[in-house]
Amino acid sequence: MSKEDRNLTTTNQKYIVKQENFDTLASYRHKSDYALRWECLFVLPEWLRVWWDAFGGAADLSILSVRNQENVIGLAPLQLKGDSASLIGGTDVCDCLDFIVAAGREGEFFDVLLDHLDQQGITYLELGFLRADSTVLTDLVHVAENRKCKVSTSSEDITLELELPTSWEDYLGLLNGKQRHEVKRKLRRLYEAGDVNFRVVEDAAEIPQHMPTFFELFKMSSNEKAAFMTDQMTSFFQTLAGAMARSKILKLYMLELNDAPVAAAICFDFNATLHLYNSGFDPRFHSLSVGLLCNVLSIKDAIQSGRQKYDFLKGAETYKYRLGGREIPLYNCRIQL
């Protein structure tokens, strides 16, 4: 099937499936009359555009909207490879993915979408990573099974998150006695070591001058992180940070000791949740636990800012459990149309 064939608009009685682009996708996010639920950080238009520009060259882009009369009831940001479709994004930099659907319209959206993909010659949907509360697992799977599609799901990884209390003291009270003591002790030792400055960079105009410090600390943290941060990945992070800062979502936390940067963390403030995306620290200050404490202080900032959750994101690192994180399973889903 040619790329031109896939660009055809499909009309199904009262529904229309239309090809969109990143600009129109962004416009839908700010149109409240559509009641679309943008609940997943990793499918925001600015994120998808940056990811596609960095990594999307091997697939065909297919951003689809499903309309019922004048209402957009759902969006499917897809990439196509042969007879397979998957959500835009990669599991190395996107911790979970999903569709964007108006509340209460999930069944009809997915029914129309599957009709369209079938007509366009798509045989498989390869979908992951997914939270249990994703529209894929709460709605699409049921629609597909009712259509006698073959559906298989598997548990692939975990993310950890923390329900935030309303005060720092209440947060410390959530930790077990040993961890509460350790957090207090490590904070005290850090502040006894010299002049401590913990700050957040949010202004998009300031991000370019601070990202090199983040990259340096990130690469210093471990050989694995140094190998991960290739030139291509550096460009992706740099562009993503700028885009998210312009959307008032980025928080770049910097921990300094005696005016020297010793740790940094990129977080995203979205949907009443602070997401810890990536962090780095200077190993020369490992004895002061500067990497851990940068994350601890970002939790404190999230509490003071009135956020409801702190998402440690994918991976089962020990410190996430010690700081109060609870496991959320992540799944893959494969649907044969």
pLDDT single digits (tens) 112-154: 999 999 999 999 999 999 999 999 999 999 999 999 999 999 9
277 φ/ψ angles, rounded to the nearest 5 degrees = -90, -55
Topology (CATH level 3) of domain 3-158+330-336: Aminopeptidase (3.40.630)
The whole-chain average pLDDT of the chain stands at: 94
For the chain, give the percent of residues with pLDDT over 90: 92
How far is Cα 13 from Cα 4, in angstroms, rounded to an integer? Answer: 23
60 φ/ψ angles, rounded to the nearest 5 degrees = -95, 135
pLDDT given for residue 8 in this prediction: 46
Asked if the domains at 3-158+330-336 and 165-307 fall in one CATH topology, the answer is yes
Two tokens, residue 3: 């790329």
HEC secondary structure over the chain: CCHHHHCCCEEECCEEEEEECHHHHHHHHCCHHHCECCCCHHHCHHHHHHHHHHHHHHCEEEEEEEEECCEEEEEEEEEEECCEEEECCCCCCCCCCCCEEECCCHHHHHHHHHHHHHHCCCCEEEEEEEECCCHHHHHHHHHHHHCCCEEEEEEEEEEEEEECCCCHHHHHHHCCHHHHHHHHHHHHHHHHCCCEEEEEECCCCCHHHHHHHHHHHHHHHCHHHHHHCCHHHHHHHHHHHHHHHHCCCEEEEEEEECCEEEEEEEEEEECCEEEEEEEEECHHHHHHCHHHHHHHHHHHHHHHCCCCEEEEEECCCHHHHHCCCEEEEEEEEEEEC
The answer on pLDDT for 213 being more than 70 is yes
**Do the strands 10-12 and 15-20 form a parallel or antiparallel pair, or are they unpaired?**
antiparallel
Report pTM: 0.93
pLDDT bin (cut points 50, 70, 90) of residue 9 is low
| Annotated domain spans of the chain | 3-158+330-336, 165-307
The answer on pLDDT for 13 being more than 80 is no
CA atoms within 13 A of residue 229's CA, in its CB half-sphere: 21
Question: Hey, what amino acid is at 79?
Answer: Q
pLDDT single digits (tens) 33-83: 778 999 999 999 999 999 999 999 889 999 999 999 889 999 999 999 999
pLDDT given for residue 5 in this prediction: 41
pLDDT single digits (tens) 216-252: 999 999 999 999 999 999 999 999 999 999 999 999 9
Averaged over 13-20, what is the pLDDT? 91
**Domain 165-307 is found in CATH 3.40.630.30:** yes
82 φ/ψ angles, rounded to the nearest 5 degrees = 60, -125
How far is Cα 307 from Cα 297, in angstroms, rounded to an integer? Answer: 14
Q: How far is CA 279 from CA 204, 209, 308, 325, in A?
A: 19, 17, 21, 17
The answer on pLDDT for 264 being more than 50 is yes
